[in-house]
């Protein structure tokens, strides 16, 4: 009887916890970066239209590999185009002098390490890799 009560209590406890699905994808920054952003601002940053934080520091943009689940989500939700069109978009930006380089490509743990090392960076991580070293800005699922 006590065992059934404890099991039921534990399940009620678990139901009250906030959850992050392993399939969720988030725009993240270093935990040090406290600037809040909405989806339109995130899109402007990822498209290179906004290149500085409110503090005046340059934004360091890191994107996932385009063939990864996070990369596919980014192409769909932020750029609204294919990997080929994305590459063309950044080549045009560089050619016009609107950007010096296309964004850094990072995945998983290397993305998280990059965000820790560069407080002015912004990138994309799956929910399974979110911890106290990064700050969720917005969910892009």
Residue 67's CATH number: 3.40.190.10
- Tokens 């380089």: give the residue: 101
The CA distances from residue 85 to 38, 63, 90, 92, 120, in Å, are 24, 15, 9, 10, 27
Residue 5 included in any domain? no
Residue 103 included in any domain? yes
More confident of the two residues 102 and 47: 47
CA distance 5 to 30: 42
Q: Give me the mean pLDDT over the 38-67 stretch.
A: 93
CA distance 108 to 13: 30
Q: What is the pLDDT of residue 99?
A: 84
Residue 110 included in any domain? yes
- Span of 42-46, 60-64, 100-104 with lowest mean pLDDT: 100-104
End-to-end CA distance of the chain: 42
The count of domains in the chain is 1
CA distance 111 to 113: 5
Residue 15 included in any domain? no
Residue 3 included in any domain? no
| Domain extent for 92 | 21-139
């Amino acid at each position: 009887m006590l065992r059934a009560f404890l099991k039921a209590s534990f399940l009620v406890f678990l139901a009250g916890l906030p959850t992050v699905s392993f399939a969720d994808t988030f725009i993240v920054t270093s935990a040090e970066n406290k600037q809040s952003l909405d989806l339109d601002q995130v899109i402007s940053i990822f498209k290179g239209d906004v290149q500085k934080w409110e503090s005046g520091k340059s934004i360091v943009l890191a994107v996932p590999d385009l063939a990864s689940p996070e990369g596919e989500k980014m192409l769909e939700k932020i750029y609204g185009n294919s990997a080929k069109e994305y590459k063309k978009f950044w080549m045009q930006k560089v050619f016009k002098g609107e950007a010096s380089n296309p964004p850094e490509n990072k995945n998983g743990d290397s993305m998280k390490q990059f965000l820790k090392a560069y407080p002015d960076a912004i990138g994309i991580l799956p929910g399974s890799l979110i911890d106290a070293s990064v700050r969720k800005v917005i969910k892009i699922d």
